[in-house]
Amino acid sequence: MCLAIPGKLESISAQLDDVFRMGRVSFGGTIKEVNLSMTPEAKPGDYLLVHVGVALQVVDEAEALETFKYLQQIGELEELNPDQPIDRTKIPGS
């Protein structure tokens, strides 16, 4: 459960409040809202290592793409279930 998945920061979405910068991150096309508090330096176009909805680190693009491909190949991306996006308007399970 410590898996961190790389994705591309597409845009900074509306901030929830002063501290909580959120961004739209694409994981091979699946878009999720990700918290950027731990990576204040992240800017659109950067690749981020994301764990449970929080970006842990900015990573190299080539690293990100290869790691994502590897995770995809071995079928380890189920936690990115597109049926359960972190969409602020929809709460999973409700």
* Tokens read off for 80: 């990115």
CA distances from 40 to 12, 54, 79, 91 (A): 11, 12, 25, 26
11 binds another protein per the rule CB under 8 A:
no
77 binds another protein per the rule CB under 8 A:
no
* Tokens read off for 93: 């399970």
15 binds another protein per the rule CB under 8 A:
no
57 binds another protein per the rule CB under 8 A:
yes
Residues 16, 87: Cα–Cα separation, whole Å: 13
Q: Which stretch binds another protein (CB under 8 A): 7-15, 23-31, 32-40?
A: 32-40
Closest approach of another protein to the CB of residue 48, in Å: 12
82 binds another protein per the rule CB under 8 A:
no
